[in-house]
Amino acid sequence: MKNTIAERIADFLKQFPPFDLLDPSALLEISKEVKIKYLEKGKTIYNQGDPLHDHFYIINKGAISLIKDIDTSTDVIDKFDEGDVFGLRPLFAKETYTNTARTDEETILYSISIHLFRPMAIANTQIGNYLIESFASNTKNPYSKEHHKSFYSNAEVVSTEEDHLFELQPVRYIKKVVTAKPSTKIRRLASLMSEKNISSILIENKGIPVGIITDKDLRTKVATGLQSIDDSANSIMSAPVLCYPKNITIAQAQITMMKHRVGHICITEDGTPNTKIIGLVANHDMVVMKGSNPAVLMKAIKRANSTKELKRIRSKIMILLDGYITQNIPLTHTSKIIFELNDATIKRVIERCIAKMETPPPVNFAWMSLGSQGRKEQLLHTDQDNAIVFETVDPKTMEATRAYFLKLSKKVNKRLNAIGFEFCDADIMAKNPNYCLSLEEWKQQFSSWTSNTGSDEILLSSIFFDFDISYGDANLTNALSEHTLNLVKNNNLFISKLAASALRSASPLGFFRQFLVESDGEYKDLFDLKKRALLPLIDAGRVLTLNYQVKTINNTAERFEKLAELFPEDKDLYLSCSYAFKALLKFRTKHGLINNDNGRFIKLAVLTKEEKMKLKRCFKTISTLQETIKIKFNLGALL
């Protein structure tokens, strides 16, 4: 007599790795022994520090959060949904759980015996390789083969630092930071550094970082006689300080320090210079990684002396991205690493182009990356959106100054295109005279867009208000950011129209919950993932953070996480938005890598039933968010 329940379970399992690598008889054998667990929202599967279970799990329906308790705080480090496997460490090491697994909603789990599955994994080389590369000792290195020898032995695996994927581990930071006030005398600072045997001191005001002084500053600015030891700290400190949140990875810390040529990063409560200091990361405290990794790629970018060489490095970055996506590395880490590598590539191109100019830049300037790169969300080969802001100069020299930067921009845009950043179809690039402006001109332009609120102005605001400096003088972009926030503060008409625009993105689903596809043109019958799913979240995150005057956060997922922190009553919705955005961006990246394109248009026929379910759950979050915005901004009359 057939076991119909087991067959149904087998039909489900065979859609997902590593079960798709099993032969039908082995899969059915596992399915007969599967235990089905139903859990309500908020139920714990296991706690951090619990003894390991003798089984692992795959999610049939619902969602799970992996939670890490660090000191006095609790962080969600990953999320899983239908088809995701978790709790596999028992295959590799006799340890306790390193995280807590908890349900985000009503969930059905399939519980699978380790003792039944392990012999099959050992007998099947493909499964062994998959598990080694995905889960070995909690390693997610897509290129590591260092666990092959130990995987099949009966000995307990003792994981060392070299066995882990270092670059994706949270960096270890100094918690007891020595600080001083801007008015502290240099003589006192030197004594303090000698007394504490430290090489740097953070300068703070009311707990907020305002600068940093290192032993190099003492050597180059004081020992040389440029400054007196009786001068104040603010006369030699470096400012502003690079600030990041405590979950910054080693890879991001390494490449950030290399890119900015600094030896320290300040850890603050929310990762911005606007909150209190909680730690300090020093370059010499980090271990240099072996082999090929983001830090190696960063070094290669900084050494590159030709566009051709940068193009080759760019292809390696795409290989790295493919590995991270394939091995299910959390998108938070992936996007930060790829952003820094992209940003360094842009910076290197600009450096080389300046060197080819007949004269140095006539005044300070900043190269602004817009759109997805400005939000730190550009993973695939998408088009370039950029602009230049330069110091305001005398009207007599304005056009000559602009001519210089237009010439520079043409060189940069051309080389970025050669590397793989395509030209923008709408010509929103620094080589366009409309987008190569002085600081005062940009301020006037932003003022015009926020006061003359037609559809074109709203569209341009949506593009240009998401900018990030890739090269040059941060004082210029900081001044423009402050100006933007001042313009939108209490500007209810502009905010309302921006919110209304955010709700006009095409709906992802029709009345009967079917996916709405393009009805004609080049992409007929394809699903537009950007327009129907990502843009509604991007636009909503932007208008909410502008409305609430959130500074220095442009990334969409981070915007929603900050909103969840600011408004606990809407925390669940905003965290769901953050998760949905990361899931959709990862989905786009995965299909873009498969199809060697930008991943925007998806063939529905290639999606599995489970993929469609995941997308629809993200769409439900979008629908809830849009209803919230409609009510929050009272948009009935504008829609």
* pLDDT tens figures, 420-468: 899 998 999 999 999 999 999 999 999 999 998 888 999 999 999 999 9
Tens of pLDDT, residue by residue over 176-234, are 899 999 999 999 999 998 888 788 899 999 999 999 998 888 888 888 888 899 999 99
Q: Which among 550, 560, 602 has a CA at the least distance from the CA of 582?
A: 560
Determine the 3-state secondary structure of 636 from DSSP. Answer: helix
**Residue position matching structure tokens 């690493």:** 337
Average pLDDT of the residues in 23-44 = 90
pLDDT for 37 beyond 60: yes
Confirm if 126 and 145 have CB atoms less than 8 A apart. no
**Residue position matching structure tokens 């509604």:** 536
pLDDT for 359 beyond 90: yes
Tens of pLDDT, residue by residue over 466-521, are 999 999 999 999 999 999 999 999 999 999 999 999 887 766 766 445 777 777 78
pLDDT for 90 beyond 60: no
pLDDT for 2 beyond 90: no
413 Cβ contact partners less than 8 Å away, ≥ 6 residues apart: 384, 386, 423, 429, 430, 431
Measure the CA–CA gap between 22 and 193, rounded to whole angstroms. Answer: 61
- Give ∠ CA 5-7-10 in degrees, rounded to 5: 115
CA 539 to chain centre: 17
User: What is the identity of the amino acid at 586?
Assistant: K
Determine the 3-state secondary structure of 39 from DSSP. Answer: strand
Tens of pLDDT, residue by residue over 223-273, are 888 889 999 999 999 888 899 998 887 778 877 887 787 888 999 998 888
Looking at residue 12, its pLDDT comes to 87
User: What is the identity of the amino acid at 105?
Assistant: E
The DSSP element (H or E) to which 81 belongs, if any, is strand 73-81
pLDDT for 162 beyond 60: no
Minimum mean pLDDT among 75-89, 107-121, 260-274, 402-416: which range? 75-89
Burial of 176 by CB count in 10 Å (0-12 exposed, 13-18 middle, 19+ buried)?
Answer: exposed
Q: Are strands 200-205 and 179-180 parallel, antiparallel or unpaired?
A: parallel
Strand partners, 174: 280
User: What is the identity of the amino acid at 267?
Assistant: I
DSSP 269-318: SSSSTTS-EEEEEEGGGSPPPPSSSHHHHHHHHHH--SHHHHHHHHHHHH
Helix locations, 165-282, DSSP H = 186-196, 215-217, 250-260
Measure the CA–CA gap between 587 and 294, rounded to whole angstroms. Answer: 22
Tens of pLDDT, residue by residue over 373-382, are 899 998 887 7
Q: Are strands 243-244 and 73-81 parallel, antiparallel or unpaired?
A: unpaired
pLDDT band at residue 111 under the 50/70/90 scheme: very high
Q: What does the mean pLDDT of the chain come to?
A: 84
* φ, ψ dihedrals at 489, nearest 5°: -65, 120
